[in-house]
């Protein structure tokens, strides 16, 4: 029996490691391609036009949250629990995401008109916003997450990115301006959506139809996800509002400078997402098991992600100038200082990823809304304070401070989340804990 249990444990870990390997392979590939293509596009367009493109992407991202509907962890949890058939879960979640996506797109069109009139910028926003209609098809990714079969999603991501990258490089070679690059982004989402749906049909052998939609389950998803949904809106606000406010308060060139630094900082955020995507089903299972093992699992994840985040931040801080000058050129020299500030926000982002899974497992979704809302309000307020005097650097400071307050400090003030605050604090003392542990081993 012991050998059988050991073998089963080995097989579970092997499956998780392979799943993480696929996700990392996917994301590292995406990172490298995005890095090189973004540098090429930014050099070609210059800070002014690249800032305009970044502004369009940021505005669309704010409204694209509507298509996410906060369903990720909740739908995966439903699949794992098995209370509903996979067809019903998939169809009901797709119906909800598509409905909210259509509403989000219409709101984007209205805001685009009142902020830009019928001009060129309005056209960019309306075209770029079509990704909101395509995003609901990502619901099929949730099934792959629940089955720990992320290689299919990875292949979809890599294939769509390659096509988009080829298009962008071609546009640079021809000498096009902003619009073709907007279309290239749309192409990437379109190809990804088709591929992930095709893989879902082939691998799951499930047939989804309108008859599989259960309005009761869709409403249940909505009831359970609205705190995460609103929290996601607030999160996107304090991730993208910097570029919007820079455009309104300073100009598109400053957005271009900030965008380069922020992109180099945010590109690392795939690491916690890849790890937690693979371990989330295990966290759901541990919730009903041994409490001590459950806590140790979270602490180990926090320790690991903090260590990685600090290593990344130190690396990018030391080599920021070299990266910017080598790949982006002298026009973007000011982006280096933005990067050295913004990169440290990743420490809180990495650990926040664990917290985001914890609130789903614990059924404490309201805290996603509370903490993200706090972060959004603080970020907007700090942007008003810092941007007039410091421009792009000020926006980076606003991001760093708001992330720290929303994703760490605020957890202390709520009884339910205070335990997680202590876990995070314990992780910050990881070097001290390692020294003490080493000392105890020597003494023994």
Please report which residue ranges of 324-365 form alpha helices under DSSP H.
335-342, 346-361
Contacts of 200 (CB under 8 A, 6+ apart): 90, 140, 143, 144, 152, 206
Spell out the per-residue pLDDT of the chain, length 444, in tens: 555 555 555 555 565 565 556 556 666 777 778 888 989 999 999 999 999 999 999 899 888 887 766 666 777 777 777 677 777 877 887 888 888 888 889 999 998 888 777 788 899 999 999 988 888 777 777 777 777 676 787 788 888 988 999 999 999 999 898 999 999 999 998 998 888 888 888 877 777 777 777 788 778 777 777 777 777 788 788 778 899 999 989 999 999 999 999 988 988 887 888 777 777 777 777 777 778 888 888 899 999 999 999 999 999 999 999 989 988 988 999 999 999 999 999 999 999 999 988 888 888 878 878 888 888 999 999 999 999 999 999 999 999 999 999 999 999 998 889 999 999 999 999 888 878 877 777 776
Best CA proximity match to 380, nearest among 248, 225, 230, 228: 248
Best CA proximity match to 269, nearest among 158, 361, 403: 403
Instruction: For residue 325, give Cα distances in angstroms to 82, 252, 261, 331, 338.
Output: 52, 21, 12, 9, 14
Q: Which two tokens stand for residue 379?
A: 């970020």
Transcribe 276-287 into DSSP letters: HHHHHHHHHHHH
Domain hosting 246: range is 2-443
Instruction: Put residue 165 in one of left, alpha, beta given phi > 0 → left and psi -120 to 50 → alpha.
Output: alpha
Contact partners, residue 256, CB within 8 Å, separation at least 6? 42, 45, 46, 47, 48, 49, 50, 51, 52, 54, 332
Predicted TM-score of the model (pTM): 0.79
Structurally, the chain folds into a number of domains equal to 1
């Amino acid at each position: 029996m012991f050998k059988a249990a050991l073998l089963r444990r080995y097989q579970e870990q092997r499956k998780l490691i392979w799943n993480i390997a696929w996700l990392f392979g996917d994301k590292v590939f995406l990172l490298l391609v995005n890095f090189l293509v973004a540098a090429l596009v930014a050099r070609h367009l210059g800070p002014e036009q690249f800032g305009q493109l970044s502004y369009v992407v940021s505005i669309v991202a704010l409204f694209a949250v509507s298509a996410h509907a906060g369903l990720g962890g909740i739908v995966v949890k439903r699949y794992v629990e098995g209370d509903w058939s996979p067809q019903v879960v998939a169809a009901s979640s797709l119906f909800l995401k598509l409905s909210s996506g259509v509403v989000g797109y219409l709101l984007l069109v209205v805001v685009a008109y009142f902020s830009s009139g019928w001009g060129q910028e309005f056209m960019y926003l309306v075209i770029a916003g079509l990704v909101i209609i395509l995003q609901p098809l990502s619901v099929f990714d949730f099934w792959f997450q629940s089955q720990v079969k992320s290689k299919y999603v990875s292949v979809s991501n890599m294939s769509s990115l390659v096509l988009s990258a080829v298009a962008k490089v071609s546009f640079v070679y021809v000498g096009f301006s902003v619009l073709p690059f907007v279309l290239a982004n749309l192409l990437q989402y379109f190809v990804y959506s088709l591929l992930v749906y095709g893989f879902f049909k082939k691998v799951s052998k499930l047939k989804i139809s309108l008859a599989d939609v259960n309005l009761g389950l869709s409403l249940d998803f909505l009831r359970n996800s609205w705190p995460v949904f609103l929290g996601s809106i607030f999160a996107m606000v304090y991730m993208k509002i910097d570029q919007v406010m820079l455009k309104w308060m300073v100009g598109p060139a400053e957005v271009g400078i900030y965008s380069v630094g922020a992109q180099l900082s945010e590109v690392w955020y795939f690491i916690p997402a890849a790890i937690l995507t693979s371990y989330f089903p295990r966290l759901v299972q541990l919730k009903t098991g041994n409490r001590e093992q459950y806590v140790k699992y979270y602490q180990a994840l926090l320790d690991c992600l903090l260590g990685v985040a600090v290593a990344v931040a130190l690396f990018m801080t030391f080599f920021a100038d070299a990266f910017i000058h080598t790949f982006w050129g002298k026009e973007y020299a000011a982006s280096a200082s933005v990067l050295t500030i913004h990169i440290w926000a990743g420490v809180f982002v990495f650990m926040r990823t664990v917290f985001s899974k914890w609130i789903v497992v614990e059924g404490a979704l309201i805290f996603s809304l509370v903490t993200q809302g706090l972060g959004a309000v603080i970020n907007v307020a700090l942007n008003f304070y810092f941007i007039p005097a410091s421009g792009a650097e000020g926006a980076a400071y606003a991001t760093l401070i708001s992330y720290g307050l929303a994703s760490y400090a605020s957890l202390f003030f709520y009884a339910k989340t205070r335990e997680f605050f202590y876990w995070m604090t314990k992780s910050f003392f990881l070097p001290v804990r390692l020294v003490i542990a080493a000392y105890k081993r020597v003494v023994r």
